[in-house]
Amino acid sequence: MIGITAFGLLALSLPAFASTDTSDASFQAGWVGALLTLLIWYVCASRRKKEIGGWLLYYYIRLYIGVIIVVLVTASSYDNYLPEAWADKPDLYPFFLWSTVPGLLLYCTEFAVAEKLRTSRNYFYVHILRYILFAALASSLIAMVIKNKYFEEDSTTFFNIATMIWPIIWIPYFYLSKRVKSVFKDRDWPSEDHPESS
């Protein structure tokens, strides 16, 4: 039962950075996402006895995949961030920026801090990471309110929900995980046979 729940959480916390209008494309994207989730689950489960293994490894894999997707999506929609793209609706431009830019900046900041945490093994960065995740949750809520009010025709509702799921899952993890405490605070994770920690 725990494995099924974990698999469900893995699938839910994978990002949905783009939406498509055709059912065939959605179906194919769904299969790719399911296979990717299964592969990531297998890798994380097989490394559960390592320091960076289990759920912590999943956090990092998901973070790296997210950065790649953020870069690709931002590069492909770069024109939307220029004022000229909003010439016909200039009043909406600031709301567009408020609903997108803070989330992008927070994601980049989270990536930098998480990498510093991984390389330094300094528990101080866990505290910073928690604050960033709280800020990301607040940013997602604000973006959802702005998009619902000013961009009703926007089809990225699922994306907004997905960006909220990420911090909702990982905030408690970085407070309660025995692995995080052992690896980054106590630094006493055994090299081999340590039972799976949450």
* CA proximity to 118, closest of 164, 160, 180, 172: 180
Q: Where are the alpha helices (DSSP H) in the chain?
A: 2-13, 23-46, 54-76, 93-120, 124-150, 157-176, 178-180
Question: pTM, whole model, 2 decimals?
Answer: 0.77
CB atoms within 10 A of CB 31: 10
Query: What is the chain's mean pLDDT, rounded?
Result: 81
The number of domains in the chain is: 1
| The pLDDT of residue 24 | 53
| Residue-range definition of the domain harbouring residue 110 | 2-186
Question: Locate tokens 């055709």: which residue?
Answer: 22
| CB 107 within 8 Å of CB 136 | yes
pLDDT in tens, 51-73: 999 999 999 999 999 899 889 98
Q: How far apart are the first and last CA of the chain?
A: 15
